[in-house]
Amino acid sequence: MKSIKLFFYFVFSIPMCFWAQNKATINIENNSALDRKEAVVAISWKNILERYPEIDTSNFVVINTKTKKQVIFQLEHRMSSAIQNLLIQVDIKAKSKLTFSIQKGKPEIFTVKTYARYVPERKDDFAWENDKIAFRTYGKAIEGSNEDAYGFDVWVKRTNKMIINERYKLADYHTDHGDGLDYYQVGHTLGAGNMAPYVKDSIRYSANYHRWKMLDNGPLRSTFQLIYDSWNAGGIKIGVIKTISLDAGSQLSRIENNYTFDETQTLPIVAGISKRANPGKILLNEQQGIMAYWEPASDKNGTTATGVILTTPVSNMWADKIQLLAKTTVQNNEPVIYYSGAAWDKAGKFTDAKKWFDYLENFYHEINNPLVVSVK
């Protein structure tokens, strides 16, 4: 009897951390009919801590239980001191399941696949990129000059390396040095998928962004905010904060715009894509909210493709002389989420309009059929 008492005393006197689980298991299911390649998946850090409370954030690895190999990961903060999500990148077949183990170990050094930064040395540009494509937008310092533009710019690339810093350092980004260049023309349009209010049948462009905040910066997802000064948009005072994320492997940025205004209950807005004088190929799919453009080929620089996918109902899509436009509405202080991006035929993945349009349609289905994630 005494030995039994000693046993129970021993068991219950052991600290609870001794019994804590020293790993967690992640299950990811693809219930759609589409294969997912290079998908960045977010796993709630709170759910991981519930299963693995003693995890050391500087000494853990994510292992594919089938291949036994490490998987690239990122701790996403969303500008918070606390971790919000664990991001991993996966390839997963249609109607299939993957399992990963989070356990103690030394993580490998993985290649950075996304990057973003404010560029004060070039008139307040803000630039962002991944292993497929690059973009930039314009800041206060360039306003009033002949270089100013309203929309998003595209920097085409045919390398998986990060090129923003090198191109700015060379200050010769209009020349292709073997990895791509900036030859996209934005002008007085929304460029490659920017958004603006549409009041009294006119686009009400804001000035350029005035402030910025970096939320996360790679290796799998870079997220930042652009804050704009309020402006008079056809008699309505409007302000906006744009939160932009770009995932590794994606041609499209995720953009969340939060408009504030007082004079009306709803605000008409449009997303736009620059249109060229020569004929190109256009897709206007109002039902699915997909607007796409395969530009006419440049003599020496190939073809840039651009696209937008709206997640809110589209009331109209049309093409005018200088741009394609997709119209929707937004509530005051409620975010509107959409996707915009580009591709370059010289990168080799999209060599005709059909391949680009198919990519956007598949992307639409991926948005509406997200991967299912569980932690055990």
pLDDT tens string 204-257 = 999 999 999 999 999 999 999 999 999 999 999 999 999 999 999 999 999 999
Residue that wins the pLDDT comparison between 22 and 308: 308
**pTM check: above 0.95:** no
Q: In terms of Cα–Cα distance, which of 327, 356, 341 is closest to 253?
A: 341
Structural domains in the chain?
Answer: 2-109 (2.60.40.1180), 114-368 (2.70.98)
Q: Which residue has the tokens 């005035």?
A: 210
**Rounded Cα distance, 247 and 259, in Å:** 24
Question: How far is Cα of residue 96 from the mean position of the Cα atoms in its chain?
Answer: 25
Q: What percent of the chain has pLDDT over 90?
A: 92
Cβ–Cβ under 8 Å, residues 373 and 26: yes
If pLDDT is split at 50, 70 and 90, which confidence band does 20 have?
low
CA angle 43, 45, 47 (to 5 degrees): 85
pLDDT at 11 over 60: no
In this predicted model, what pLDDT tens digit does every residue of 34-82 receive, in sequence order? 999 999 999 999 999 999 999 999 999 999 999 999 999 999 999 999 9
In this predicted model, what pLDDT tens digit does every residue of 149-163 receive, in sequence order? 999 999 999 999 999
Cβ–Cβ under 8 Å, residues 228 and 210: yes
pLDDT of residue 264: 80
pLDDT at 7 over 70: no
pLDDT at 164 over 70: yes
Q: What is the mean pLDDT of the chain?
A: 94
Q: What percent of the chain has pLDDT over 70?
A: 95
Cα-Cα-Cα-Cα torsion 253, 131, 79, 102, nearest 10 degrees, comes to 120
Residue that wins the pLDDT comparison between 147 and 335: 335
